[in-house]
Amino acid sequence: MSLGGIASTFKFLREITMTTPNASMANLDPVQLDEKDSLRHMRQRFHLPEDVIYLDGNSLGPASHAALAALKQAAHEEWAEGLIRSWNTAGWFNLPKTLGTRIAPLVGAAPEQLIVCDTVTLNLYKLLHAALTLRPGRRHIVAEASSFPTDLYIAQGVARHFPGVELKLSGRDADTLEELIDEDTAVVLINHVDYRSGVLQNMAALTATAHQAGALVVWDLCHSVGAMPIELDACQVDFAVGCTYKYLNGGPGAPALAYVAHRHHSHLDQPLAGWWGHARPFDFETDFTPAPGVQSLQTSTQAMLSMRCLDGALSDWAEVDLQALRKKSLQLTQYFMDLVGARLSAYPLQCITPKEPKLRGSQVSIQFEHAYPLVQALIARGVIGDFRAPDVMRFGFTPLYLGFEDVARAVDILQELLETEAWQDPAYAVRQAVT
């Protein structure tokens, strides 16, 4: 990592700590906090149902008016009227690259290093495989036991196809990632923000540790992209994946992003070669010739309606100051934690998200023995969060459309449910397919 990149990272961390003081926010007036919010105007860009406080944007972002307009245009004009001509006339064919270029500034990447295609799971498989081929003879993939399960499933699957390669996990084989990274490590897979606890990992430090051992690193940005500034290039990251349907609000099942640093482009070898990743797909050649750089990561025909919906959603980011976004994110999460701590200390709620600003993402996770029925009771009252087994309530705080009055009202309702024990209604204990 360059000295300039390191200095920028530490400057950012200092600013974050300064903008979110240690003093409790519990006694602050939410109306006054909203009046001072520099991002308050962004709320009007979203379609938010009345009487709903949406605290689940860390799982699925809401629809923006721009995204809905783009989807309508894609369906009614480009598909229904343009038909197959829209691959050319509406720019469909180039959308994976176009969208990658639009997302690049949000993750601190120079152009030509990002592509939007397929899914996080598929892209992760491609990049882990590519990393192992770049480090032949090394026998370990290192990851976190607390990773989102699909990351572990894919890592296990990749390891099975490389004789002698093993998956080593922090939290199982050692206490920390650093203890597992050595000269036998080929690639380290790290979740930037832990999906269950909301803990934020130090990208600069862990990437440097991996590189010092000669290993490569893949960062999973699913719970950080769109919630905070990210500096992939400055941190010298090798590869990254991320979804676009959470904080980027690209719609359910929106395509994923994949990042490959320029220095790896000439040696990029991904295993799911398909015609969309061919250098000349419409020459219909028998042998595969990869397209240059990240374009070769594309596998099959992309889902254009989802791509166009994401294209619309990204227009909302043109005027967003990422530093202001992060500042508000930290204030929202601190306000929620401080209110819960001040008003609900009599109840067996344990916050597992760090209070220290530089250690948390944009969500707050609370352990409670009866988390599932309590979350369902909250949803019934219009406060939408989610549940993660076995006992975690997750609340996401998306700065673009949430306000401090939303936070205060959510805590009011949580307190009411706990005081009245209304969450004990048997109806709330019935498990649904999606939690």
Q: Could you list the residue range(s) of the whole structural domain that residue 111 is in? A: 66-317
Considering the domain architecture, whether residues 56 and 73 belong to the same structural domain is answered as: no
Domain boundary among 247, 282, 317: 317
- pLDDT exceeds cutoff 50 at 412: yes
In the chain, the amino acid numbered 414 is L
Instruction: Supply the mean pLDDT for the chain.
Output: 94
pLDDT of residue 79: 97
pLDDT of residue 4: 44
Which of 148, 182, 184, 343 does the annotation list as catalytic? 148
Share of the chain above pLDDT 70, in %: 95
Nearest-angstrom CA–CA distance, 400 and 416: 27
Domain boundary among 288, 317, 346: 317
Nearest-angstrom CA–CA distance, 259 and 276: 17
- pLDDT exceeds cutoff 80 at 18: no
Nearest-angstrom CA–CA distance, 394 and 194: 12
The average pLDDT across 340-368 equals 96
Which of 238, 394, 401, 404 does the annotation list as catalytic? 394
Considering the domain architecture, whether residues 50 and 71 belong to the same structural domain is answered as: no
Q: Is 118 a catalytic residue?
A: no
Considering the domain architecture, whether residues 301 and 332 belong to the same structural domain is answered as: no
The average pLDDT across 42-50 equals 96
Neighbours of 349 (CB within 10 A): 18
Q: How many domains are contained in the chain?
A: 2
Q: Which one is predicted more confidently, 3 or 318?
A: 318
Nearest-angstrom CA–CA distance, 132 and 184: 12
- pLDDT exceeds cutoff 60 at 3: no
Q: Is 220 a catalytic residue?
A: yes
Token pair listed for 222? 């699913």
Nearest-angstrom CA–CA distance, 418 and 371: 11
The burial class, CB within 10 Å (0-12 / 13-18 / 19+), for 88 is exposed
- pLDDT exceeds cutoff 80 at 12: no
pLDDT of residue 323: 96
The average pLDDT across 63-80 equals 98
pLDDT of residue 145: 96
Domain boundary among 317, 343, 370: 317
Considering the domain architecture, whether residues 326 and 286 belong to the same structural domain is answered as: no
Nearest-angstrom CA–CA distance, 187 and 35: 47
pLDDT of residue 17: 39
The average pLDDT across 343-356 equals 96
Which of 118, 151, 220, 316 does the annotation list as catalytic? 220
Which CATH number goes with the domain that contains 45? Answer: 3.90.1150.10
Considering the domain architecture, whether residues 216 and 131 belong to the same structural domain is answered as: yes
pLDDT of residue 22: 67
Question: What is this structure's pTM?
Answer: 0.92
Neighbours of 119 (CB within 10 A): 16
Give the dihedral of Cα atoms 296, 299, 304, 305; nearest 10 deg: -130
Which of 46, 239, 245, 247 does the annotation list as catalytic? 245
Distance of alpha carbon 135 from the chain centroid: 27
Considering the domain architecture, whether residues 170 and 302 belong to the same structural domain is answered as: yes
pLDDT of residue 434: 85
Considering the domain architecture, whether residues 294 and 354 belong to the same structural domain is answered as: no
Three-state SS for the chain is: CCHHHHHHHHHHHHHHHHHCCCCCCCCCCHHHHHHCCCCHHHHHHECCCCCCEECCCCCCCCCEHHHHHHHHHHHHHHHCCCHHHHHHHCCCCCHHHHHHHHHHHHHCCCCCCEEEECCHHHHHHHHHHHHHHHCCCCCEEEEECCCCHHHHHHHHHHHHCCCCCEEEEECCCECCHHHHCCCCEEEEEEECECCCCCEECCHHHHHHHHHHCCCEEEEECCCCECCECCCCCCCCCCEEEECCCCCCCCCCCCCEEEEECHHHHHHCCCCCCCHHHECCHHHCCCCCCECCHHHHHCCCCCCHHHHHHHHHHHHHHCCCCHHHHHHHHHHHHHHHHHHHHHHCCCCCCEECCCCCHHHECCEEEEECCCHHHHHHHHHHCCEECEEECCCEEEEECCCCCCCHHHHHHHHHHHHHHHHHCHHHCHHHHCCCCCC
Within a domain: 21? yes
The strand pairing partners of 220, in sequence order, are 191, 241
Which CATH number goes with the domain that contains 145? Answer: 3.40.640.10
Considering the domain architecture, whether residues 59 and 78 belong to the same structural domain is answered as: no
Neighbours of 63 (CB within 10 A): 19
- pLDDT exceeds cutoff 70 at 221: yes
Q: Is 195 a catalytic residue?
A: no
The confidence band for 7, taking pLDDT boundaries of 50, 70 and 90, is very low
